Amino acid sequence: MNSEQNTARTRRLAFLIPLAGFLVLAGFASLALLATLRGERDMTQLPSAMVGKPAPAVALPDLRDAGSTVSAIDFKGRPFLVNVFASWCAPCRAEAPALALLSEEIEIFGIAYKDKPEDTRGFLATYGDPFAGIGIDRDGDAGMRWGVYGVPETFLVDASGTIILRHAGPIDRRVLDELLRPAIRDLAAGTKP
């Protein structure tokens, strides 16, 4: 009688195993969802393999000086930002004010990604020009060396030329105040002594 009850109970419990498995999975999923809703996890940010690696030294035609070339390593020696942008990219317009603010704190090297030089010039005339130097990446070759997925993307590079941080997507207030500015400040504090 007792063993009968036990068997019946075990049978019922065994039937619950898949349910328990499902609940565990659902638990993980809801944790991830909660973190996303709270803003602790950003689903749009993919991991970058370039952080910690040296900035690619691709020489690009200089937008401002036809005939000469410009490259990210020209900026080596002090921390700098690299911003990959294009005149055809709407979020690039949105981040123009943020870049203008940043240009007061740090030099910005612009990579005009898959853009016609005359379009790039028109874009800069309309939305302002925060760049200390601009390279023309007509076919997206440099973008690929930087591991760019799409425009805009922004990289922070330290004085030794190592990529410290990557942000994909436009720089909004939050990215500016909570990500880029603290990182730039840390870098400045670290390199001074």
Partner 1 sequence: MRLPRIISALWCVAAFSMVLSAPLPAVAVTPEEMLADPALEERARTLSKQLRCLVCQNQSIDDSDADLARDLRVEVRRQLSTGSSDAEILANLRDTYGDYVLLNPPVSPGTYVLWGSPVFILLAGAAIIMAGRRRREDAGGTVTEDPAAPPAMPLPPGTRRTAIALGSLVMAVSLGLYLMLGRADLPGQPLAGRGAELAAAADASNAQTAERQADLDEARSAAAASPEDVGAWLRLAMAAAAAGETNTELAALEQAEQLTKGDPAIRAMRAEAMSRAADGQVTIPARELIADILTEDPSEPRALFLSGLAAYQDENFGAAVEIWLRLQSLSAPDAPWMALLADNIADAAQAGGIDLDAVTAARGPDAKTMAAAAEMSDEDRAAMIEGMVEGLAARLAEEPGDAAGWQRLARAYDVLGRPEDATRAMIGRADAMPGDAGAQLAALEGVVVNRLEDGFAGDAGRLLERIASLAPNQPETLYVRGHFAKLSGDVDTARALWQALLDRLPDDAPIAGQLRDAIDAL
- Interface residue list for partner 1 (CB under 8 A): 1, 4, 7-8, 10-11, 14-15, 17, 21, 46-50, 53, 93-94, 96-98, 100-101, 114, 125-130, 140, 143-147, 149-150, 172-174
Cβ distance to partner 1 smaller for residue 80 or 146 = 146
Closest contact distance (angstroms) between CB of 114 and partner 1 is 8
Cβ distance to partner 1 smaller for residue 12 or 192 = 12
Dist CA 112 CA 132 (whole Å): 13
Bridge partner list, 111: 84, 135
Cβ distance to partner 1 smaller for residue 129 or 158 = 129
Closest contact distance (angstroms) between CB of 27 and partner 1 is 14
- CB 158 within 8 Å of CB 144: no
Cβ distance to partner 1 smaller for residue 4 or 68 = 4
Closest contact distance (angstroms) between CB of 21 and partner 1 is 7
Cβ distance to partner 1 smaller for residue 93 or 116 = 93
Dist CA 74 CA 178 (whole Å): 28
Closest contact distance (angstroms) between CB of 46 and partner 1 is 6
| CA angle centred on 68, ends 78 and 119, rounded to 5° | 90
Closest contact distance (angstroms) between CB of 82 and partner 1 is 15
Cα separations (Å) of 172 from 61, 93, 175?
29, 11, 5
